[in-house]
Amino acid sequence: MSRPRLTAFCVFLMMFVVGSGVACAQELNDAHMKFIHGYNNEFFQSQEQKMMEYYEFSGQLMNEYNKNRHE
């Protein structure tokens, strides 16, 4: 090999580019997973939780309706 420094530099550069790509991909994957978990927690509640919220809401409406009807 007539150019050992150039070869070493190219190998180092390739390793740096590949390593940076792997680190960037992992960070993007982590951010995506955080977003998905947050989205699911916000918009996809369990059926039991939805039913409890519905019962609370409908109970308040019925109480207001009965109170207004008797006044």
As a whole-number percent, the residues of the chain with pLDDT over 90 amount to: 0
b/e burial code for range 9-40 (CB count within 10 A of at least 16 → b):
eeeeeeeeeeeeeeeeeeeeeeeeeeeeeeee
Q: Is the pTM of the predicted complex or chain greater than 0.85?
A: no
| Integer Cα distance of 69 and 71 in angstroms | 6
| Integer Cα distance of 49 and 54 in angstroms | 9
Where exactly are the structural domains of the chain? 4-70
DSSP 3-state assignment of 26? helix
pLDDT band at 5; cut points 50, 70, 90: confident
